[in-house]
Structure 1
Amino acid sequence: MITAQSKKFNGIPLSILDLAMINEGSDASQSFKNTVDLAQHVEKWGFNRYWLAEHHNMPGVASSATSLIIGHVAGATKTIRVGAGGVMLPNHAPLVIAEQFGTLDALYPGRIDLGLGRAPGSDQATAYALRRTLNSSGNDFPDQLAELRSFFTYDPSARVRAVPGEGQDIPIWLLGSSDFSARLSAELGLPFSFASHFAPAYLMQALQIYHSNFKPSKDLKEPYVMLGVNAIVADTDEKAQYLATSFQQQFLNIRKGVTTQFKPPVEDVDSFFSPYEKATLDEIANWPSVMVGSPETVKEKMEAFVHATKANELIISSGIFNHEDRLHSYELLGEMME
Structure 2
Amino acid sequence: MSRPQEPHRPFLPFGNPFKFILPKGSYLSPKLLALLNAFEESLTERVKSLKPGSKEDILTLSWMTQAMSTLCAIHTDVKTLITELELPVCDWDEKWIDVYLDNSVKLLDICIAFSSDISRLNQGHLYLQCGLHNLDGTSNQFMKARSSFDGWKQHINSKNPRLENCFAILDSLTESLNLPKIKNSAEGKVLMQAMYGVRVVTVFILSMFAVTFSGSTKELKDLQIHKTCLWTEAFVDVRDFISQEIRRIYSSGRITALKELEVVDTSVKKLYPLIQNGVDPNEAEQLHLLTSNLTEKAEKLSGGLDVLAKEADRFFHILLTGRDSLLCNLRIDSTVSNPAEVNNNVEREDVR
Q: Provide the TM-score with structure 2 as the length reference.
A: 0.24
**Higher alpha-carbon Rg:** 2
Relative contact order higher in (CA < 8 Å, ≥ 6 apart): 2
Between Structure 1 and Structure 2, which shows a larger proportion of strand residues? 1
Between Structure 1 and Structure 2, which shows a larger proportion of helix residues? 2
Q: Provide the TM-score with structure 1 as the length reference.
A: 0.25
